[in-house]
A = this chain, B = another copy of it.
Amino acid sequence: MNSNVHIPGYDFGSKSLPPSPISLEELRALEQACGFDNNAREQLRKAAVVLAPHAEDLVDKWRSIIAQHAEMKQVFFGPDGQPDETYKAAVKKRFVQWVIDACEREHDQAWLDYQQEIGKRHTPAKKNQTDAAHTGDVVPLRYLIAFSAVVSTTIRPILDDAEYSTFEKAEIQDAWTKSMLLHLALWTQPYVAACLW
């Protein structure tokens, strides 16, 4: 586990984080809605074995896809219309850690609180605050959702090389997709009115 990870702005488990407005009971209901059950938890443990060593490769791949997208790449642009490389590098370390955490972390209160923090960091509430950056103030929701398809499906080449059976690979893929969408559901809370979320 990652209890001693030191990455600037990686506030998982920090006492400075407010409690998520989402309760653990609501989280369990969301897990059920995703089909994220004990088997999915077990599959993510297997995913960790193959994905954690490639976490940075995955983020590099995702970043290369974002860089080719005229609109998505702008989430990293500063006021001068150029990529803010300092911000990109800072966020990248936490994105790599997210891959590992998504496979390894229990879904407890500390995890829930940090998901809310990640959600806010995609919206005007906190997008630039952690890194004292001056990029655009939102990752548009439509791209957050759309790009989750890329995050869900691009683990396949790594799975293909792993020493699991075809059945196991399919189960791991499904668990990863469910995990991605559970994160996504939580991250959208700061985007919408409470009565619609």
Contacts and interface: CB of A to CB of B under 8 A. Distances in A.
Interface of A: 29-30, 32-36, 65, 69-72, 123-124, 138, 140-143, 145-150, 152-154, 156, 166, 170, 173-174, 177-178, 180-182, 184-186, 188-189, 191-192, 195-197
Nearest to A180: B149
Contacts of A154: 35
Contacts of A177: 149, 152-153, 177
A159 to B, nearest CB: 9
B149 A34 contact: yes
Nearest to A166: B166
17 contacts: A32-B69, A33-B146, A33-B147, A34-B146, A34-B147, A34-B149, A34-B150, A35-B153, A142-B189, A145-B145, A145-B181, A149-B181, A149-B182, A152-B181, A156-B174, A170-B170, A192-B192
Nearest to A190: B196
Copies in the complex: 2
A47 to B, nearest CB: 14
A4 to B, nearest CB: 31
Given A149-B35, A156-B170, A29 B196 contact: no
Nearest to A169: B170
Contact of A145 (B29, B124, B146, B184): B184
A72 B178 contact: no
Given A191-B192, A196-B123, A30 B152 contact: no
A33 B178 CA distance: 19
A191 B196 contact: yes
